[in-house]
């Protein structure tokens, strides 16, 4: 679970604030034009909030251990000043903490804000430490909610949704963190940042898109990867694999699911002209799972035969949720992605029987925000009830947390840049949702060329959820965004190191959407220079 999750400013004067005891430090920053004063700065409360407390503590750095279920750690973090500002929205009884870490020496003059993961609104400390190591003053917020899988905050004691905390999580706390963080930078260093960036993936990616949509002046550049936009729709849709298995009364094992995935990748691998273990244009892969019916696979020492029922389950999961009349609701698990992440099952019981083990994030969304019954058994959901839940989520939550407004005209006018990559083997958030959003932006703003001026999308073959830079490949996405913002060097490609299904490392230039990578017919298939970006062939 930890591996998967690792992989989802107008202000008013401060009326009353409590300044708690602080630790201070003398000037240490190595820039002669920048002072360094690690003390609680005077703050103006963001509009609609009241500041409850401001603290400043000098931290020695070293190894930072990540909190919560995500865990992780980062070593060799230099000394930094940690400023914590606690906000409340009068009448909402919330308490949102905004933490800003500022390097004692070597500040690069830039500000960075970090997004969250699953139901965690901000960073758990690892990202903060990494940003400080890179010279950034960095901010994150907990939005007054809990850890990545903690939804205890969702309902009030009367059983109704806590809309104030949901609004915090959905959008307003991120904006307020931007307002607060920049003030803290000015207060500690005596100058405002030269450039401001937002950085997030999954929930953090969604938060980045919300910033571009609703608060276009907050950041010069937004890095928003594998974004959980269309939250009200895709979050229900990711429960679909469980609904399929339960209604078809067939729960294939991960080993059997992997047999389908491996066969599909092998079948579609050469669509880009090279047999390299990667499907470079997953949308063109039309492998029919029925081709495996009768195939023998060995799972945990047992030989199993793929049945027509197994193939039917996989076909429905790949196809994605539909109404009982056949109308498409959302994209399915992409071909090439790990099916078992969302189609998990329990270990066999004494009789050898298994049942579904749904992924906790969509389960919580359905049980808590839709049913308002955290103990609700999602295994009882029928196909028709699934459609009802999907529609209910749209009606109740699209305006709050849909995060899919295509009108980015104000962000474009502000001069901001938005860069996104999305793995084509994303097992949690199908890249198709991001592609459809990009198409809607093009329709809204007058075509792809006008959108490319400020918003670029890169699809990453064979890449799981939020996997680049987390053990399944790497890319200097933030460096590319900085070059675009600060030197007007718009990225035509995004250099990346990818990992194939067999564990082989290859270099690729991710292509700016809608282009895809194609082998030139000669050269090492592990080298990016052997491929070029072309417009996709028509299906």
Cite the active site residues.
Answer: 202, 426, 465
The distance in angstroms from the start CA to the end CA of the chain is 37
Q: Which residue has the tokens 């007054």?
A: 144
- Least Cα distance to 64 among 131, 137, 117 occurs for 131
For 420, residues 6+ apart whose C-beta sits below 8 A from its C-beta are: 205, 223, 224, 225, 227, 434, 455, 456, 457, 458
**Alpha-carbon gap, residue 78 to 29, rounded angstroms:** 12
**Alpha-carbon gap, residue 310 to 253, rounded angstroms:** 10
**Alpha-carbon gap, residue 153 to 110, rounded angstroms:** 34
For 488, residues 6+ apart whose C-beta sits below 8 A from its C-beta are: none
C-beta of residue 77 within 8 angstroms of C-beta of residue 103: no
Parallel, antiparallel or unpaired: strands 195-201 and 110-114: parallel
Please give the helix or strand (H or E) that residue 50 lies within, else none: strand 50-59
**Alpha-carbon gap, residue 487 to 481, rounded angstroms:** 10
For 71, residues 6+ apart whose C-beta sits below 8 A from its C-beta are: 2, 65, 124
Q: Which two tokens mark 123?
A: 């960073």
- Least Cα distance to 346 among 338, 336, 354, 334 occurs for 354
Please give the helix or strand (H or E) that residue 201 lies within, else none: strand 195-201
Chain centroid, CA 478 distance in Å = 15
Dihedral, CA of residue 264, residue 477, residue 150 and residue 147, to nearest 10? 150
């Amino acid at each position: 679970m930890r591996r998967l999750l690792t992989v989802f400013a107008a202000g008013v004067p401060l009326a009353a604030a409590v300044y708690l005891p602080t630790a201070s430090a003398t000037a240490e920053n190595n820039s002669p034009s920048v002072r360094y004063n690690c003390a609680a700065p005077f703050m103006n409360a963001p509009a609609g909030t009241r500041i409850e407390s401001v603290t400043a503590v000098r931290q020695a750095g070293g190894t930072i251990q990540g909190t919560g279920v995500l865990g992780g750690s980062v070593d060799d973090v230099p000394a930094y000043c940690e400023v914590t500002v606690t906000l409340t929205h009068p009448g909402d009884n919330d308490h949102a903490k905004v933490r800003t870490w500022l390097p004692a020496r070597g500040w690069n003059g830039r500000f960075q804000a970090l997004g969250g993961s699953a139901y965690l609104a901000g960073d758990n400390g690892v990202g903060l430490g990494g940003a400080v190591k890179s010279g950034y003053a960095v901010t994150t917020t907990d939005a007054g909610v809990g850890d990545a899988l903690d939804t205890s905050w969702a309902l009030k004691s009367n059983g109704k949704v806590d809309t104030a905390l949901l609004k915090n999580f959905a959008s307003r706390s991120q904006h307020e963190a931007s307002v607060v963080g920049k003030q803290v930078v000015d207060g500690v260093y005596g100058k405002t940042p030269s450039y401001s960036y937002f950085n997030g993936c999954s929930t953090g990616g969604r938060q980045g898109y919300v910033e571009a949509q609703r608060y276009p002046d907050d950041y010069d550049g937004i890095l928003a990867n594998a974004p959980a936009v269309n939250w009200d729709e895709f979050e229900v849709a990711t429960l679909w694999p469980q609904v399929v298995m339960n209604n078809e009364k067939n729960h294939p094992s991960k080993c059997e699911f992997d047999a389908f995935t491996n066969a599909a990748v092998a079948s579609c691998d050469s669509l880009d002209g090279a047999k390299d273990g990667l499907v470079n244009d997953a949308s063109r892969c039309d492998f029919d799972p029925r081709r495996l019916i009768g195939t023998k696979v060995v799972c945990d020492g047992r030989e199993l035969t793929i049945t027509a029922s197994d193939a039917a389950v996989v076909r429905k999961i790949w196809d994605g949720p539909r109404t009982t009349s056949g109308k498409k609701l959302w994209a399915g698990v992409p071909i090439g992605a790990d099916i078992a992440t969302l189609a998990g099952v329990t270990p066999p019981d004494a009789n050898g029987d298994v049942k579904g083990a749904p992924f906790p994030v969509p389960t919580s969304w359905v049980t808590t925000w839709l049913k308002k019954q955290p103990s609700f058994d999602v295994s009882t959901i029928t196909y028709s009830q699934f459609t009802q839940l999907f529609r209910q989520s749209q009606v109740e939550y699209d305006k709050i947390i849909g995060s899919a407004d295509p009108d980015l005209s104000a962000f474009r006018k502000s001069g901001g840049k938005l860069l996104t990559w999305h793995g084509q083997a994303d097992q949690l958030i199908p890249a198709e949702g991001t592609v459809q959003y990009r198409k809607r932006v093009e329709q809204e703003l007058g075509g792809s060329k006008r959108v490319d001026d400020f918003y670029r999308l890169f699809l990453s073959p064979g890449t799981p959820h939020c996997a680049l830079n987390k053990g399944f490949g790497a890319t200097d996405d933030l460096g590319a965004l900085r070059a675009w913002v600060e030197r007007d060097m718009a990225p035509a490609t995004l250099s990346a190191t990818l990992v194939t299904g067999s564990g082989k490392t290859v270099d690729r230039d991710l292509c700016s959407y809608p282009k895809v990578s194609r082998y030139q017919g000669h050269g090492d298939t592990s080298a990016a220079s052997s491929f070029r970006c072309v417009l996709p062939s028509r299906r």
